[in-house]
Amino acid sequence: MTSPDPKTTPAPNRQRRAKIVVWILLGLVVATAAIGYFVARGTTTDQQPQDTGQSSGQQTQEAGQLVRENSRVLSQAPNEKAVLVEFLDFECEGCAAAYPFVEELRVQYSDTVTFVNRYFPLPGHRNSVTAAVAVEAAAQQGAYEAMYQRMFETQTQWGESAEDQSDVFRGYAEDLGLDMAAYDAAVADPATLERVELDVADGTALGVSGTPTFYLDGEQLAPSTLEEFTAAIEAAVQD
């Protein structure tokens, strides 16, 4: 049997990386026409967030901060030279597609780049807020990274469901060995939802219009390829 010509047969990695590029670029599109275009096709990465219903008392006086003291740090670089912030939605397919690429960057730049996540659940996703609250509840027990990874690694199992996935997320917390009484209390505590809503308020004030949206050292990234994305980080960590 003749083996396929590697020059004409796309490699799985190449296909996966191409998909990641597409979703990252969708998340970075901000033009109104583009938003309508993708929403009409069933994607939700570029949907404009709507009023969260929170009062001014639930926010700090200054909205629009990129990073706050209580922002969730995915990984802290011991020799930090740059900070990459991602506004994300755990039910967003684009965020899930970008997730492996972000994990690769974390390995490659673990010493010099600090990775920070901000919650930005989109209103078109039935369980996006529920997922963010579940992750924040886990984070209160020091399990942010583990719950973050579990959400994206299982998104195809629960994403886009019309059913409430709270029990599924609680099962993830149990699997991680969390104190379930504390987890349940955190999920029920209005302050946990307010914490998520504060991230949304900051993102909205900054002009975030979809997910994933990345900021590198305070500047929004708008690369057209993964190579440009990586090159921007490489330039940021140079002395």
Coil vs helix vs strand at 82? strand
Q: What are the start-end ranges of the E strands in 130-225?
A: 213-216, 219-220
Which sign does the torsion angle of CA 124, 126, 128, 129 carry? positive
pLDDT in tens, 126-147: 999 999 999 999 999 999 999 9
Q: Report which of residues 50 and 26 the model is more confident about.
A: 26
pLDDT in tens, 153-171: 999 999 999 999 999 999 9
Q: Is the pLDDT of residue 1 over 90?
A: no
Query: Residue 62, Cα to own-chain centre: how many angstroms?
Result: 23
DSSP letter at 66 equals S
Average of pLDDT values for 63-92?
A: 96
pLDDT for the residue numbered 63 = 73
